[in-house]
Amino acid sequence: MSSDYKSGFTLLELLVVISIIGVLASVVLVSFPGAQKKRD
């Protein structure tokens, strides 16, 4: 079971990392509303 894990990241692990990054990015955007106003 653990032989494939040492070869690199699995698709599931990549999806989890991308999801966490997306959540952190959303929190940052909400924390800095001024950044969104500059885009407009």
Encode pLDDT of 26-38 as tens digits.
999 888 877 666 6
pLDDT of residue 13: 92
Give, as one character, the DSSP assignment of residue 2.
Answer: -
Cα atoms found within 13 Å of the Cα of residue 21, Cβ hemisphere only: 6
What's the rounded Cα separation, in Å, for the pair 34 and 31? 9
Q: Which residues are within 8 A (CB) of 9 and not within 5 positions of it... i.e. 6 or more apart?
A: 17
Q: What pTM, to 2 d.p., does this model score?
A: 0.53
User: Based on C-alpha coordinates, what's the Rg of the chain?
Assistant: 16
Q: Which residue has the tokens 């959540």?
A: 23
Hey, what amino acid is at 17? V
Percent of the chain residues topping a pLDDT of 70: 65
